[in-house]
Amino acid sequence: MIELSLVGVRVELPSNQPIVLLKETAGD
């Protein structure tokens, strides 16, 4: 299993819509 802990907000052009990156934590 891969432990992934990613949190952030990106703006995808040209949509200009804020996309919240998926946040997963193993053993939460």
Q: Would you give the distance in Å from CA 16 to the centre of its chain? A: 16
CA distances to 5, 7, 22, 24 from 19, in Å: 16, 11, 9, 15
| Total structural domains within the chain | 1
Strand ranges inside the chain, DSSP E = 9-12, 17-20
Domain span at residue 11 reads 1-28
Give the per-residue pLDDT at 14.
75
Q: How much is the pLDDT for 9?
A: 65
Each residue's pLDDT tens digit, 1-28 = 566 666 666 666 777 776 666 666 666 5
pLDDT value at position 27? 60
3-state secondary structure of 28: coil
What is residue 1's predicted lDDT score, i.e. its pLDDT? 53
How much is the pLDDT for 15? 73
